[in-house]
Each structure stands twice: as C-alpha cells, then as structure tokens.
Amino acid sequence: MLSPQTIAIIKSTVPVLEVHGTEITTTFYQSLFNAHPELLHIFNHANQKQGKQQAALANAVYAAALHIDRLEAILPVVKQIAQKHRSLGVQPEHYPIVGQHLLGAIQTVLGDAATNEILGAWSEAYGVIADVFIGIERELVIQTAEQDGGWKDFRAFRVERKVQESEVITSFYLMPVDGQAIAAFEPGQYVSVKITIPGETYTHIRQYSLSDAPGKPYYRISVKREEALADRPAGKVSVHLHQNIYEGSILWLSAPAGDFILEPQDTKPVVLISGGVGLTPMISMLNTLAEREPHRQVTFIHAAQNEQMHAMREHVEQLVARHSQLSAYWCYAVPTGHEATYHKEGYLDLPWLASVLPSKEASFYFCGPTPFMRAVNGMLKEWDIPESSIHFEFFGPAATL
C-alpha cells in the first residue's frame, strides 16, 4: 500500500504529466533502447516510429497518476495490457529495467522540477504497479500453458492454406507443426506472430485477430497488406506475409490472448460493426454466434472503400442465407460503379444506422481504424447507448475515442 504522502505527491504531478507525458515517454523509449537494444525484439518498431506507443504509455502513466488513490479503477486497463505483455513474452526481469529508464526520463524532461521527493514517490508507486502487472502476467502464463492444447512462449505453425480475400487482405490457415491439440480461444481474441525478415537486425512481433470461430483444428488470421502512405512507410510484416509466406511456410505463434470478447451470459441482440480489416474479430464473433446461438438476433455492418476492398462478403452472405436471425449491410465509401448490391454510399452515420437496426436495445461491438471507431463511438453515445453495451478493440496500442 502507498502512504498518503506518496499518493499526494503523485497526484500533484498529474498536471505536469498532462503537458509533458508524451515528451517523457519519448525520452524513455530512446534511453531504454539505447541501453537495451535487445528489447527491440519485443516492441513494435512501426508503432515506435509513428509515436503510437509513446502516446499510449503517456496515457497509461497519466491514468495511473490520476487514479493512484484507487488503482482498482484502472484494473481493466492493466489486465488488457497484461494480456498483450503475456502474448509478446514480456518477463518479470524487464520491469526493473523499465522503471529505471522511466524515472530517468522524468528527471531528464522535468529537470530541477523533478525533486528527490517526486522521484522517490514515483519509484515507490512504480514498484507497486509493476508488482500488479507481474502477478497478473504470471497467472496468465500459467493458465495459458496448462490449458488443454496450451503452451508457453512461441510455437511453430505451418501455413496449410493461403487464401486471398480481397485486393489487400489474405487469410492464413495455421496448424501446429507438432500435430498436437491447439488451445481454445474466445471469438475476438488474437495471437502474436513472431517473424524474422531477412536483412532485419531484430525480429518483429505482430498481433493478429483470429478470424474464424473457435473449435477448428486450425487458427486463421486475415492480414491486410499495409501499403506506404504519405505519413507512414509500408508495413514490413504485412508485406512480408503477403509476398514471402506460402503454403508450407512456418510461423511462430504465442497462444491466444485478449479481452475483446463476447460478453458471457448476455442474451441481448448483437450488432457487429467493422471498418476495413477491423472485420477480422467481427467475423470470428459472427461465425461463433451463428453456430452456437442460432436464435440470437445478430446484425453485421461492414464499411469498406468498395467491393474490391471488401473481404469475406460472400461468406457472410451465405451465412445470412442459411440463418434467419442474421442480417448484414454493406457501406462503401467510394463505389466504383461495378459493385454488386450495397446498402449505403459514403460513410456510416447515425440516421442510417438507426434505420437498419430493429432496436437500439442491443450489445454493440466495433473495430476498425481509429477515426472510424471514434465516429461509431460518437454515434452510439449520441444515441444514448449505455457504456456497458459498447465494446471495441484497438489494433495496436490503445488510443482514445
């Protein structure tokens, strides 16, 4: 437990973290990787270059300071991050290293304002928070390894099938090289894939949602080829998977992880809303609901640039044709004029959303690019959908909606 004095000191730094948080975390990562370049085997280099990881850590540090007197308030976020850490292979011995460089970054950025009293309070607080992470992650490692078909660290999988789903999305069907059982998962969860790219100094780890229902003898991931844009380079791992991984290739996977799952014991109708490659966890949920809850009403809404960029359309339409409780709608931002039927041109908006849903008394799940999710979240809030009925997943470090 933290002393009242420590809590008061940490609370006093909240305004400073609000202003200097990203500068502190940027300094932290530079210092960390200079001293321990081996950690680049774990971290997503692209998120570092784009500043996403720095912003996510700044938000986490700010939240910890803001709620330091009631850390239970941020426990859901801690558990979410712990799931990612377990999936990536973060170890207990990494925490003292991180703490050393985080305190060093605070001192560097704040200068004389970072008094011994402040640094001491943050050192104490970091120790408490680190112990929480280490404990949760230890439990996750044990649970993951001891479940039926489970394993620790990374396991070799062979690509049994490679299927092009759209102009930019390809699915990989993965089966374990050892021929043993694979761990069950909840629809919406992901696996980490560890890749060694020829010519690259460090390995790359990326997390991809599982895009089929549980209970199959394989895992399926569906990967978008990330092309170069004005503000970012092409995705090294996604391009490598598309161009250099074939049927018969070996990929190394950690066991399924993640807390973006269908709420247990929830019987309300379900609305699944996806944008672009954000459909991957939604397809897993849709397939599962169709198989396991044939009487539950499900509405599937997908937004894409056009039909050529729309993955798995035919599969969803076949599901809808077989299951009367399912319905699906397509929203194309810039139709080419050659599409089959679609339901809305342009972007999603609340009047159209309200017009196609039987009721707003439902559980809403959505995933896609951050601007898309921000828009959907805003619509649902405007529609007075309760917080408890809104569920979403970020690809990559958590941002804010």
Catalytic option among 95, 219, 332, 365:
95
> In 10 A of CB 399, how many CB atoms?
13
37 is in an annotated binding site: no
157 is in an annotated binding site: no
DSSP, collapsed to helix, strand or coil, labels residue 230 as coil
Phi, psi of 133 (to 5 degrees): -60, -50
Backbone phi, then psi, for 365, in 5-degree steps?
A: -125, 135
Is residue 209 a known part of a binding site?
yes
98 three-class SS: helix
The catalytic position among 62, 126, 137, 332 is 137
**Distance in angstroms (rounded) separating the CA atoms of residues 289 and 327:** 12
Name the β-bridge partners of 171: 163, 222
Does 253 belong to an annotated binding site?
Answer: no
Encode burial over 244-264: b for 16+ CB neighbours within 10 A, e otherwise.
Answer: ebeeeeebbbbbbbbebbbee
**270 annotated as a binding-site residue:** no
Does the annotation flag 265 for ligand binding?
no
Closest CA to 213 of 290, 158, 157: 290
Taking the CA of residue 83 as centre, how many other CA atoms within 13 Å lie in the half-sphere pointing to its CB?
Answer: 18
> Is residue 95 flagged as an active site residue?
yes
Instruction: Judge whether 278 is annotated as a binding position.
Output: yes
Give the dihedral sign, CA 330/332/337/339: negative
**Is 277 marked within a binding site?**
yes
> Has 207 been labeled as part of a binding site?
yes
User: CB atoms < 10 A from the CB of 329, how many?
Assistant: 18
394 is in an annotated binding site: yes
Known catalytic membership, residue 23:
no
Active-site residues, by number, are: 95, 137
Binding residues for heme b, by number, are 85
Binding residues for FAD, by number, are 190, 206-209, 394-397
Binding residues, by number, are 85, 190, 206-209, 276-281, 394-397
Binding residues for NADP(+), by number, are 276-281
